Amino acid sequence: MLLRERGEPPAVVAHRGHSAQAPENTMAAFVDARRAGADWIEVDVRIAADGVPVVMHDPTVDRTTGGTGRVAGLTAEEIVALDAGSWFGPGFAGEPVPTFAEVVEELGRRGGRLLLELKHPHTRDDVARVLGMAADAGLTDRLVVQSFRPSILADVAAVAPGLPRALLTTTLHENPVAVCGELVLSSYHPAAVDVLERPELVDALHAAGVATMVWTVNDEALWPRLASLGVDGLISDRTADLVTWCGG
Ligand code: G3P
Ligand code: CA
């Protein structure tokens, strides 16, 4: 599911949905990503004050909605009532913040692969609840969970041992292959610039059976360079452009 065959283009991962064309992490962005031909849809999940998983990148609602406050300090009912579209453009006014349940229901029904990012913090119970929703929606076979936090991935392993896990990094580990072995990861997700600086990394990870997806690649000049290094997925805001570049 993650390792690409030799000669195949990298998978197109729609970062927060088709976020170049629609407000990030909304149903509008996810529906547009599918329409554009994304292989994967990347979604950020946080836990609201009442324990309900909602889809939001930042720890506060301030940047992407008309409201203010911490996600963890607001109930899901308060969060979904916010306008998450107007900041992006008047055509999206009133677009709500989706709950995770809504996203997996739609993905389960309409198809598509989910790259699920669990933002810090998530307790083990939170992780179990989120993954239970994905499983109930029929997504288990088209789901990869990623996080910047190894502790969250350890909880994923505990509650869903067979589920593919990926570690996001802001700084490359000295020995990423060893880290992937220790954490039993299916994929390693560094920043694109780090892979370009260590071009041997992708082959080394592949030799260990670990895929590589890189973020967040909006500069089209980097797409062929990263593809030639063998990366398995390009995580980008520019879903439609990347699909076209990959050959449709
Ligand atoms: O999928 C990679 C990327 O989403 C990680 O960074 O901050 O956009 O969640 P961020
Ligand atoms: Ca993310």
pLDDT tens column, 8-44: 999 999 999 999 999 999 999 999 999 999 999 999 9
End-to-end alpha carbon distance in the chain? 19
Length of the chain: 248
Q: Is the peptide bond before 121 cis (omega within 30 degrees of 0)?
A: yes
Instruction: Give residue-wise pLDDT tens across range 50-81.
Output: 999 999 999 999 999 999 999 999 999 999 99
What residue ranges line ligand 1, CB within 6 angstroms? 15, 42, 44, 57, 117, 168, 215-216, 235
What Å distances lie between residue 88 and 17, 21, 33, 65, 137, CA to CA?
A: 14, 9, 16, 9, 29
Ligand sitting nearest the alpha carbon of 58 = 1
Nearest ligand 1 atom to alpha carbon 44: 9
What Å distances lie between residue 209 and 131, 155, 188, 201, CA to CA?
A: 24, 22, 11, 12
Determine the pLDDT at residue 7.
86
Full-model pTM: 0.98
From 15, 18, 122, 189, active-site residue: 15
Burial class (CB in 10 A: 0-12, 13-18, 19+), 14: buried
User: In sequence order, what are the beta bridge partners of 83?
Assistant: 96
Determine the pLDDT at residue 103.
98
Determine the pLDDT at residue 51.
98
For 154, phi then psi, to 5°, come to -65, -40
CB neighbour burial string for 18-53, b if at least 16 within 10 angstroms, e if fewer: bbbbbbbbbbbbbbbbbebebbbbbbbbbbbbeebb
Ligand sitting nearest the alpha carbon of 13 = 1
Determine the pLDDT at residue 6.
83
Structure tokens at 190: 């560094």
126 falls in which pLDDT band (50, 70, 90)? very high
Pick from 114, 216, 226, 242 the residue to mutate for probing ligand 1's pocket: most ligand atoms within 8 Å of its CB: 216
Q: What is the Å distance from ligand 2's center to 186 Cα?
A: 18
Q: What percent of the chain has pLDDT over 70?
A: 100
Q: Read off the DSSP letter of residue 140.
A: G
The protein residue with its alpha carbon nearest to ligand 1, atom 7, reads 57
11-245 belongs to which CATH class?
Answer: alpha beta
Mean pLDDT of 177-185: 98
Query: Does position 150 have pLDDT exceeding 90, yes or no?
Result: yes
189 has catalytic annotation? no
Q: What is the Å distance from ligand 2's center to 168 Cα?
A: 9
Query: Does position 248 have pLDDT exceeding 90, yes or no?
Result: no
Q: Read off the DSSP letter of residue 59.
A: S
